[in-house]
Chains A and B, each alone.
Chain A
């Protein structure tokens, strides 16, 4: 009997035994075509999806390699049906190609006429195509390059986009590696993107995605449009770019609600791009304001739907997406694939942690018990009020205080959803509160103070969740949070994952009310974090308080 590290399940999941001697080799072999779904301590679960297989095809792997890897590492016989399915799915990618044509601009060609006929018969494809050029190709309206890719993916025949890119307006950008240097994986990621043309780089929070973006810009040597989630991120990108590249402050423009600068490198927020007045997007012209050579999408998994539509028109420009996860809450992974591009680089959190690039974190769930009168009130509360009631129980206050006290001398972030609760906490802990209404200037001042260790405890609301950089936060305490959303967890954990100067471990507490919906949501969180391979334990509030 073969003693491989891999077990192939009939539902297309792959179980990898991580302590097996061939586990590393196996992981490298299957990573191109299987998405890591869960990475708890002993057995990792990968899943083979059509998108993952097409990503592999786009990266130059063929079905034979995939099947060899499965058979070679599998402990048990691989179901034949699965192998057939893999081969068939992979064969679907690249049957159709989008190519440049000297006369017709853009053409869709096929190596398989039946497939071409099939997709051309689809009603939704018809408006996008022009003249039929012989049996195997058809002209495509250049403006539909994105839309047709989206549609073909939906039909199950993803097209390979070989139509190339415009160079854009040249602009010299170089990395200034003084006092720091590009980490090997960052260089690999940037190179992989560049060779692929367009696509997505998947790196964990804290792994330096901004620097990968900068390295991509240095490859492109052209004017660049950077789209980020919010204004704080805009500032951080700007600071980082000035620090890491030859770009000067004058070359970088901010395009936000307050400032509208268009410079060779322009950083804009999703929010301003999707702002509408009178039913039309007011800032669409930004995309045409310059002849951009590169578009950078930060946090691709949060990309709002209108940006997808705008991106569909940007297919001739190089695009790089940066994200910690390809999983989208709205299930639009396919749009990321067809519009931004296939996955070009991927490294699992755990591996980066082992290499010391990100700090390991300990997750602790603290369960508080509601008082009897609170339980009665909870039982009588309306369904939609229940979570708020459970999440903001005063019992959490005492536990938070105790935890802050326990970690005195360390940088502590307290994260919550409800402003009343946060204000109360701020009062009790004697710590400033950052919430939606806090001015950007004030926010940055507080963040800086926290960074400089003038402030030890900071209470933040949801606004702090995305793309801020708090390098020295060693402890995060979550008192309430949105309903078990997976990517929010990733972000929150990202806060404390930043490698710390002293190399100490980070700690992530979440305080949960026992026997309430709060606990149900916590179960989602627990599952997600454990699946990501983090140590997780559950303790009772009494253990903290005594």
Chain B
């Protein structure tokens, strides 16, 4: 084992920088944090968790190749795989590719030897049982079973029932439960089928009640194939063909209405925000209400809310952060073009590490999962979302959910399960609602979002053009035959009630809505003029009649609020009072000859009047109603939660990491001891020169001599191999300490060449 890992370390060391870079890209966990040297890297690569994560990333065929290497010697690999694929065309090329991937990921070395830890991680390979020598521990049966011909002979001896039991176990799981598994049986005394098998060593006991099929027997039963129906190529995607232009248009239509729904939600919440639950999240009641108001199913409402939140458009705010409110960034978002707004929300969805589709369902402990609640977080959500969409984007078809799932399972067989199926379903329906796909086909703008290209420009020409007119009809409706321009949209929203939404909007004028627009300060003439200006047809007589009729009665009654009133049967006293300068602070107004009202409270009024020499008495006042208008509210700007996607590590980071690693390794090999601190004057250079010198050294990969104030404030000097500069720190291999170290940039007093 020790030797194996030494060999692996040597092999890793022999890899080129480029190869190590590829390794780090495909297994980013190996360089976070950067190991000190190659043995450190090798050790980390061999840990069960690192191996497990690497294997999780393998597709079905590559995994099968790795499993085959567990069971068969390297030179047997090709024949074994060919048996499993029944010599399907392309098998050899696929084996080549799989080996390249495995080597790249340092799971297999150039000699096709498995890296440390891989064999254990793959145990049992392909559902095979344990090898005979482990089942029988140096028993002679183990020796017998090593010969396939002997195994075949033994199998031929048992009865049909026993044979059936063998076939049952052949393709795994290889173990079964029987009472008293460790009983003593011999070929002569064997009674039951199980006893026949136990007696011949075709089954072996691995526990008091557990028997297993030894690997050698399993292989014979499988005709020396490790896998059934192994395919060297991914399963084809099946689905329906759609007209491409129609599909993109449908996607664009959905994109448009999704953006509109998000906006509508924020507008609704800005005047009537729902509360934040004590445990976080949004009450199911509020979700239902939102669904009803937006006229969408609940799951769509949950998606809209979650995406709006992820895009930073809504957040907890208000007093004690107890309400969900639109953020200031919502106002910025709203001011942008539809296509840009869509791109922003689509990207937020893509990197969302939560599963909106789970909202409203119950978890394992039967707790209701609420929208916006921390419980909806699923670490794998973003990765699976991206994978599903990538599969859909790989075809011109509208792939069926089953075939997408089959492809995903093939790509990552170790990550399959009911969970994956559910997430896939969610992603597909959400992509459709959001307009990444149309009629199930990936749209050009959806593809752009997925690949990180600017999507808005692709979406823009597909969106319906805003119209600046409506069709007015005698049944008091207005039909906007497309999305309205902003100003007209807001005006109609005020002057009419929305009756139906979609590509067009149907508005209905009613007494209440006309009153609303009059309340907003417009006159009947202005309303009619606006209607006439924006209508393609003459304003119908019943509509203009309605407007003038409502206006006729509008404002006939006046309502105001005052804190107190003053009445006096003698108007002359009130005249006198109004003329009195001292009463100016009371801000009184005359409503009628004998009545004054004031903003001042009754108590103030009484005090002031008494001070002025009058003798007023208080009257009890009832029914004084204060009317408050619900203001559109905003939460303070909150930092938009940066969702840390599983985006592959940046190339520069990887390059720097490899450089540091190499430096560490070189140090380990050639200079196991730290070099002495260089003597002489500590280098001193200006700060800008320091940084540029360090950057130059990083670029050249050269060593430098620096002066550094350590954490105690002592001036030291070091020999470094700088790796990268980031966030005020320099990461470098410190040859004087023989370790990788992070240096605070501003404490570096100067840089000089080593020579």
Contacts and interface: CB of A to CB of B under 8 A. Distances in A.
Interface in B497-548: 500-504, 506, 537, 540-542, 545
A17 B469 CA distance: 14
Given A42-B473, A526-B542, A75 B500 contact: no
Given A9-B504, A79-B257, A80-B439, A40 B473 contact: yes
B471 interface: yes
B465 to A, nearest CB: 7
A343 B251 CA distance: 35
B502 A41 contact: no
A76 B503 contact: yes
Interface stretch (A179-187, A327-335, A532-540): A532-540
A531 interface: yes
Given A11-B500, A77-B252, A538-B542, A530 B474 contact: yes
Interface stretch (B75-83, B328-336, B477-485): B477-485
Nearest to A75: B503
Interface string A329-347: 0000000000000000000
Nearest to A531: B475
Given A75-B481, A77-B250, A515-B553, A9 B473 contact: no
A537 B544 CA distance: 10
Nearest to A532: B475
B500 A13 contact: yes
Interface in A65-116: 71, 74-81, 83
B502 A17 contact: no
Interface in A1-53: 1-2, 7-11, 13, 15, 17, 38, 40-43, 45
Interface in B240-260: 246, 249-254, 257
Interface in B428-456: 432-433, 438-440
Among A11, A45, A76, A535, the most chain B Cβ lie within 10 Å of the Cβ of: A76
Given A7-B481, A42-B479, A535-B474, A76 B253 contact: yes
Contacts of B40: none
Contacts of B252: 77
A83 B246 CA distance: 13
Interface residues of A, number: 35
B427 to A, nearest CB: 15
A535 B542 CA distance: 10
Given A17-B481, A71-B246, A77-B252, A9 B542 contact: no
A79 B500 contact: no
Contact of A40 (B464, B477, B502, B553): B477
B753 interface: no
B295 interface: yes
Contacts of B440: 80
Interface residues of B, number: 37
Contact of A536 (B249, B464, B474, B537): B474
A18 to B, nearest CB: 10
Contact of A77 (B253, B481, B541): B253
A74 B249 CA distance: 11
B552 to A, nearest CB: 10
A243 interface: no
Interface in A503-546: 515, 526-527, 530-531, 535-538
B253 A79 contact: yes
Nearest to B477: A40
A1 B438 contact: no
B537 A538 contact: no
Nearest to A520: B511
A10 B504 contact: no
B574 interface: no
Contacts of A15: 479, 481, 500, 504, 506
Contacts of B253: 76-79
A111 B626 CA distance: 66
B476 interface: yes
Contact of B473 (A41, A77, A79, A83): A41
Nearest to B545: A538
B651 to A, nearest CB: 39
A81 B502 CA distance: 12
Contacts of B540: 41, 536
Contacts of B295: 10-11
B473 A2 contact: no
Nearest to B432: A80
A45 B471 CA distance: 13
A265 B283 CA distance: 65
Contacts of A13: 500, 502, 506
A43 B480 CA distance: 10
Given A80-B432, A515-B553, A538-B542, A40 B475 contact: yes
A62 B240 CA distance: 19
B541 A538 contact: yes
Interface in A390-433: none
Contacts of A75: 481-482, 503
A2 to B, nearest CB: 7
Contacts of A538: 541-542, 545
**Top 5 A-B pairs ranked by shortest CB distance?**
A77-B253, A76-B503, A9-B502, A530-B475, A77-B250
5 contacts: A15-B479, A41-B537, A42-B471, A43-B471, A80-B432
Given A40-B474, A77-B249, A80-B432, 8 more contacts: A2-B249, A10-B502, A38-B475, A76-B464, A77-B246, A77-B438, A78-B250, A530-B542
